[in-house]
Amino acid sequence: MSDRDSGSSSSADDSSETACSTDIDLYLHPLLADCLYKAVAQTDVSGYVGCTTPKERTAMRKLIGVKVETEDLDSFAGARGSRKPVDTDDVLRMHAQYPDEPLESIANRLECSLSTVKRHLRKARSASSSSADSAHESQLPTMDEVFDAFEQVVETNRVYSRAC
């Protein structure tokens, strides 16, 4: 009988075990599969999700070639400070109108920060450079690919037995 079965937690290894690393029924649960897939292939979630850590999900994404954009929660929450909101089109329009002016001058004209102007220019540049690659990269992985990556990344790191 293991320490887990007897209810004692004398071993330091027991504290790192989770339900996901020891309960095979939970591992195969359809809700877990959906949660894991969405956390790896569709959104960048912080914390422990789908029986994975952020570090493990990053490694899984690298393995299956998935890129997930981080969400700008400040814009959803409306946390913009005291300056008016500026979008990428405004910055591009102003930059085209005054191509020889420094970016700081464009920021002053738009009443926003220099970092906002730079961020929008980077966003526009990356959108234009990745538009050719978007058809190739936009394909989401299959559930099997995500589970294969899970097994390669997570299961190899968790050497704990799954004995009932």
Task: Give domain limits for the chain.
Answer: 79-131
Give the chain's radius of gyration (CA, Å): 23
Predicted TM-score (pTM) above 0.75: no
pLDDT at 138: 55
Q: Residues 115-138: pLDDT tens digits?
A: 999 999 998 888 776 655 544 445
Whether 114 has a pLDDT exceeding 80, the answer reads yes
pLDDT at 71: 67
Query: Does 139 or 57 have the greater pLDDT score?
Result: 57
Q: Residues 10-46: pLDDT tens digits?
A: 444 444 455 555 445 555 677 888 888 888 988 888 8
> Span 143-161, mean pLDDT?
78
Tokens 């570090």 identify what position? 55
Confidence of residue 100 (pLDDT cuts 50, 70, 90): very high
Structure tokens at 10: 């004398």
Confidence of residue 80 (pLDDT cuts 50, 70, 90): low
**Rounded distance, CA 40 to CA 141, Å?**
9
